[in-house]
Structure 1
Amino acid sequence: MFMYFNLEKILYEGKNSKKILSYKFYNPDEIIEGKKMKDWFNFSIAYWHTLGNIGMDPFGAPTMKRPWNLKDPLDTALAKVDAIFELCEILGIEFFTFHDTDIAPEGKTIKDFNNSLDKVVDKIKENMKTSNIKLLWGTANLFFHPRYAQGAATSPDPEVFAYAAAQVKRALEITKELNGLGYVLWGGREGYDNLLLTNSELEEKLLANFLQMVVEHKNKIGFKGVLLIEPKPKEPTKHQYDFDAASVIAFLSKYNLEKDFKLNIEANHATLAGHTFSHELRYARINNKLGSIDANRGDLLLGWDTDQFPTNVYETTMAMYEVIKNGGVDVGFNFDAKVRRASTDLMDLIYGHIGGIDSFSLGLRIANELKNEIDKMVKKRYEKYYNTMLGKKIINKEINFDDLFEYIKETEVETIESLKQELLELILNMHIFRG
């Protein structure tokens, strides 16, 4: 019997269903490209936005009263365990994600915090015994507390560095205890607000040292999950060191960490960096770094991380094309998304997740139909590199500038083949409109 929601489980009923509380496109056991639809995604509910969001923003007080928020912080933490399992059961989602501070009150010291965490983790383990709900990934909140105002791993205070390390140590251990598929590191304040007051060389080295310690502890405790870094360009700091996929991959390469980490790509972070979601997925994919995805969207008219539920099928289709080309993701899709401040009903949480799940499921279906047409168009666009002697020599580095000059010196090169972007857009619309 559900405690917080008087609902039946949400089921797949097909695109012609008129029932709001049903999936129109998410059919978890449907086979697509040899894999169940649910296994393409490993959808998960984010603890912080779903249970922790109370409708507060920089301009206004809380708007939401949630039944799991009790007077005692530890009682609240234990109640949230039941709430997250209930939501997963209702939505048919098999995973959840959390920051350490989402699941337990911090206390005054790391010892106090760990004592609270132990009690909540025991409760999670008990709930897991009677459920198929699992942990997708865990992480540590190294950005909310005042101690992290100037960074965590990049703080000018080594005691802050030590405290952050202690948090990550325990969060990584908990993730292993709960059989999480991955562990995410997001440098919420690992950046700068004033460049002249920043020792960038030292901060970069400190961040690299911190990540190397993460790898060492992962190996020490025998955690087999995927270590993930989540790029984000700005907000709250003026500039963050994990700006986008390209900067993170370059950083990992510089410090010989490329074999140890993959990326957790978030849609809203991509747009804040001036990229599309599919661009960031593509860059991670072609560098063998696409490990997991935070499924949300932003508002392009607003310059901050709005973390809205993903409902743009054009965006989800292009994202799922990249995921299909990658053969899936190592970890899963986390709904790092929250209802709007004025959406105060508990049911709004259900509506938001149904909409996001169906949007990505439809995107998967459409991308799977489209991929052969797209691949053919791309292949034709670059065919001269593969079916001419000149193209083959350039690809294989069997030619130099002198050779190229001799080849081209008396040849007029004035025209190019059409990009055919409008044709591709027409094909994309045709598939989307027929659903």
Structure 2
Amino acid sequence: MALIGNKEYYKGIGEIKYEGKDSDNPLAFKYYDSERVVAGKTMREHLKFAVAYWHTFCGVGADPFGPGTQNFPWDQPTDAMDAAKEKADAAFEFITKMGFDYFCFHDFDLIREGTTLGESEKRLSAIVDFIAEKKAASGVKLLWGTANCFSNPRYMNGAATNPDFNVLARAGGQIKLAMDATIALEGENYVFWGGREGYMSLLNTDMKRELDHMGRFLGLARDYARSQGFKGTFFIEPKPMEPMKHQYDFDAATVIGFLHQYGLQDDFKLNLEVNHATLASHTMQHEMAVAAAHGMLGSVDANRGDYQNGWDTDQFPNNINEVTEAMLIFLKAGGLRGGGINFDAKIRRNSTDMDDVFHAHIGGADIFARALLIADRIITSSAYDELIAKRYSSFDSGKGKDFEQGKLSLSALYDIALENGELSLQSGKQELFENIINQYI
């Protein structure tokens, strides 16, 4: 494998290859065989694995109780452009060694933000040119780009929902630049994460006005990107809270209602994150099912939370039962609408060796590949679909079918209820469904 940079950052680690489940090599895939065909597509096509620039190359293990523990060589240069180029070299080395096809970024993951918007624009333009060369040399693609409109203190009261118009305008300028960078790098999608689009207290918040502003702002962003030739999908990423007390993109159902309210449903879909689902007191399966039911299952940020911690821990996925149930919904929905599986996850603060990030991504890829295989076998070889069909069979003919086709009135339902008399109970067979999952795992 040719090195995609001037020097090697992950020394002693070569291309990660598939060796099968019996391999003892910790630097090999046990289940992710990229060219294996499952349900009519290769694993590579189904999963479209992407590396999150922010956690993998920018996150250094800092938390509210202490500074970072991971000292990356690309963070040493004091010059912003030199540091950004070294980070890009390391990023493309890692992505190509993993054998993944995609990466995702926030604007100022790529390079340090400037002291003015004009300086930031110059920096972004320069690093985008450099990364475009690395894309061409490696074949790695951009799954989606986005803008960090939540970290800078100017956004402490929100970006598109900020009560100060001048801050909203600054967010518009920043998102324009992030969209320009995404388009220049041939990004397939663009994501909005409203990290501070919400409130800390309703006492000082005009919620309707802020929601109206966010709806208008997203429409302007869409119109700009389309005017620049962007053909991809716009994603919104739900999260209920943290850092705000309440964020307007609370969960999948809330976002879908918002998109329809402001006429954005034809251009936007959802980028769902596992840890955000659990923070909303949902499962990822629930969020995926809601999005799929509305044709809005766009992309997935793959991670998990810690059930003993009530915050966004962004750990790498490793629960085969949970991921299998999610992949059942994935396959039955026909896959994702434009997006992929982005590892929005970070190694732990006490994981400080350069190879730890490889172990994390290998495990993440394997858990999704294994779950994909299991879900496919459940659908094609078990009674799973038959049992679901049987449960709803009363709607397949007769009066049940008439109801689904809109042929019955409420009075007609009353007449049927009178005629039926008291009903016998119909079991949901929940334990049987759970046993099927365990049997095929």
- The match for 1:420 is 429
- Aligned position for 1:392: 401
Residue 68 of structure 1 aligns to a residue whose secondary structure is: helix
Gaps of 5+ in 1: none
Matched position secondary structure for 2:44: helix
Indicate the residue corresponding to 2:20 in structure 1.
14
- CA apart distance, 1:409: 1.7
Shift of 1:410: 4.8
Structure 1 CA distance for aligned equivalents of residues 106 and 310 of structure 2: 25
8 Å CA contact 2:74–2:87 kept in 1: the answer is yes
Deviation at 1:151, TM superposition (A): 0.2
Q: Secondary structure at the match of 2:24?
A: coil
Show the counterpart of 1:348: 356
Q: Secondary structure at the match of 1:188?
A: coil
Report the Cα distance in structure 2 between the residues aligned to 1:407 and 1:124, rounded to whole angstroms.
66
Distance in 2 (alpha carbons) for counterparts of 1:334 and 1:404? 47
2:390 alignment partner in structure 1: 380
2-side partners of 1:132 and 1:397: how far apart?
51
Q: How far is 1:321 from its partner?
A: 1.2
Q: 1:98 — aligned with what?
A: 105
Where 2:289 maps in the other structure, the secondary structure is helix
How far off is 1:35 after superposition?
0.9
TM-score by length of 1: 0.97
Q: Distance in 2 between matches of 1:411 and 1:290?
A: 39
Structure 1: 4+ residue segments shifted above 4 A: none
The residue type paired with residue 332 of structure 1 is G
Shift of 1:227: 0.6
In structure 2, the residue matched to 1:429 is 438
Q: Indicate yes or no: 2:274 matched with 1:232.
A: no
Write the mapping of 1:24-423 to structure 2, written as runs, cut at 5 A. 24-72=30-78, 73-329=80-336, 330-372=338-380, 373-387=383-397, 389-423=398-432
The CA deviation at 1:424 is 1.2
Q: Partners of 2:81 and 2:136 in 1: how far apart?
A: 22
Q: Which amino acid aligns with 1:18?
A: D
In 1, distance between residues paired with 2:335 and 2:418?
46
Preserved CA contact (<8 Å) 2:50 2:340: yes
Consecutive unaligned residues in structure 2, runs of 5 or more: none
Cα distance, 1:237 vs. partner? 0.3
Q: 2:162 and 2:418 mapped to 1: Cα distance?
A: 57
Aligned match for 2:9, one of 4, 15, 18: 4
Give 1:397's aligned amino acid. Answer: G
Q: Is residue 292–residue 333 contact of structure 2 (8 Å, CA) maintained in 1?
A: yes
Q: Aligned equivalents of 1:410 and 1:37: distance in 2?
A: 52
User: What letter matches 2:180 in structure 1?
Assistant: E
Is contact 2:384-2:436 (8 Å) kept?
Answer: no
Give the Cα–Cα distance (whole angstroms) in 1 for the partners of residues 240 and 422 of structure 2.
40
Q: CA deviation at 1:401?
A: 2.2
Q: State the one-letter code of the partner of 1:309.
A: F
For the residue of structure 2 that corresponds to 1:293, the secondary structure is strand
- For 2:342, what is the secondary structure of its paired residue? strand
The letter of the residue matching 1:354 is I
TM-score, normalised to structure 2, is 0.96
8 Å Cα contact 2:61/2:68 also seen in 1 = yes
The CA deviation string for residues 209-261 of structure 1, in whole angstroms up to 9 with x for no partner, is 11011111011101011111101111000000000010011011011111110
Deviation digits for residues 306-361 of structure 1, max 9, x if unmatched?
Answer: 11001111111111111111222112111000001111111110010000000000
